A = this chain, B = another copy of it.
């Protein structure tokens, strides 16, 4: 992989979407309980390497096929933190400036490199003062990979 593919030489703009990223939302303006948003993207080999470099998480489970083959997963899996990042990407697509306050995560099933992850949000509580609680699920082909709850503050953009 060249520096161009991984590094700062692939600039990405605020609010940018790549051709294989998709967002669906029924939220228009201020969120209400029951509103939903879905964001999906494929997770590539390059994405796993980018996450490893950015975070420092060089767990062999994610980077070394031979070593990962000997684990309960039988091969490499995507970092749980990267799946969680796709949930944050969905939250970032809510209208306004989204500030993360809390997130809890349960890691339920592994995601393989090359799979497409869909992060689904549902607004479950309006906590007032522009704070909202959302149910967050990241799945591949119907399987819930990561589930949890997020609390965010949404300010006018």
Question: Residues of A with Cβ closer than 8 Å to B?
Answer: 1, 5-18, 21, 39, 41, 43-65, 67, 71-72, 79-82, 84-89, 92, 97-107, 113, 155, 157
A51 touches B155 (CB 8 A): no
- Are A12's CB and B53's CB within 8 A? yes
B residues near A87, Cβ cutoff 8 Å? 81
Chain copies in the assembly? 2
Question: Are B79 and A88 touching (Cβ within 8 A)?
Answer: yes
Nearest CB of chain B from residue A145's CB, rounded to whole Å? 11
Determine the distance from Cα of A86 to Cα of B56 in the docked complex, in whole angstroms: 6
Query: Is there an interface contact between A97 and B8, defined as CB atoms closer than 8 Å?
Result: no
| CA of A7 to CA of B85, assembled, Å | 18
- CB-CB under 8 A from A55, the residues of chain B are 47, 51, 82, 85-86, 88-89
A89 in contact with B15 (CB, 8 Å): no
A104 contact set on B, CB distance < 8 A: 102-105
Beta-carbon contact of B61 and A99 below 8 Å: yes
Bound Cα distance from A18 to B67, whole angstroms: 21
A1 CA to B53 CA, complexed, in Å: 15
